[in-house]
């Protein structure tokens, strides 16, 4: 397993070692030993999974303290553009984002620690997205920023038009980044 530091501190891309043969493939999707070796402290308590069609955009979300979540995200089937935004008040990269394509073919994962907004856009139909979390979901602790905030200037995907996007009612009314008061 190769754990690669992104340009934003504490945000890591996980590249598992894929063992292939005539039967298919095998890989470790998580190793506490490898995470600890990279300085990542994560005690996962729950696995979540979503199924989405092309154009589904989920995010940008986080949970406020004391229910902050770290997430280890990956795609089992299909493809997403995954985005994490640093909203740690004292971080030199506050307001900066990192994006990566995660797919069932590339097997890459992203470790999103507490203090980040997270979201993803499905690029293929029948995408299965899964993630481990370090805290349980708490509805009253939700916070977020609107996906198309001009200050964040996230390039979601030029191939999918605004008219094709599928968003929840909740995600359509999230705060702008300039109005977002970071609890981190």
What pLDDT shows up at residue 164? 87
d(CA 118, CA 148): 13
Calculate the CA dihedral of residues 4, 7, 11, 12 and round it to 10 degrees.
Answer: -10
Catalytically annotated residue among 97, 107, 118, 131: 131
- For the question of residue 131 being annotated catalytic, the response is yes
What pLDDT shows up at residue 163? 83
Q: Which domains does the chain have, with CATH numbers?
A: 44-172 (2.60.120.10)
Catalytically annotated residue among 25, 61, 136, 137: 61
**Is the pLDDT assigned to residue 159 strictly greater than 80?**
no
**Is the pLDDT assigned to residue 160 strictly greater than 90?**
no
| Residue predicted with more confidence, 164 or 96 | 96
d(CA 181, CA 6): 25
% of residues, the chain, pLDDT over 70: 100
Confidence of residue 57 (pLDDT cuts 50, 70, 90): very high
| Cβ proximity of 121 and 53 under 8 Å | no
pTM to 2 decimals?
0.95
Instruction: For residues 4-16, give the mean pLDDT.
Output: 97
Instruction: For residues 91-115, give the mean pLDDT.
Output: 98
- For the question of residue 61 being annotated catalytic, the response is yes
């Amino acid at each position: 397993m190769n754990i690669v530091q992104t340009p934003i501190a504490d945000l890591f891309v996980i590249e598992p070692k894929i063992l292939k043969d005539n039967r298919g493939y095998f890989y470790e999707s998580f190793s506490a030993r490898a995470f600890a070796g990279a300085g990542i402290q994560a005690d996962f308590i729950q696995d979540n999974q979503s199924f989405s069609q092309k154009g589904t955009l989920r995010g940008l979300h986080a949970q406020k303290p004391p229910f902050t979540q770290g997430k280890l995200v990956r795609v089992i089937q299909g493809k997403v553009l995954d985005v994490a935004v640093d909203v740690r008040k004292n971080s030199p990269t506050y307001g900066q984002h990192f994006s990566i394509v995660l797919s069932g073919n590339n097997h890459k994962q992203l470790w999103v620690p507490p203090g980040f907004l997270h979201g993803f856009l499905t690029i293929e139909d029948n995408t299965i997205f899964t993630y481990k979390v370090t805290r349980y979901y708490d509805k009253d602790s939700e916070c977020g920023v609107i996906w198309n905030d001009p200050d964040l200037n996230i390039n979601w995907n030029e191939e999918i038009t605004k008219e094709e996007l599928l968003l929840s009612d909740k995600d359509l009314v999230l705060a702008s980044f300039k109005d977002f008061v970071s609890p981190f």
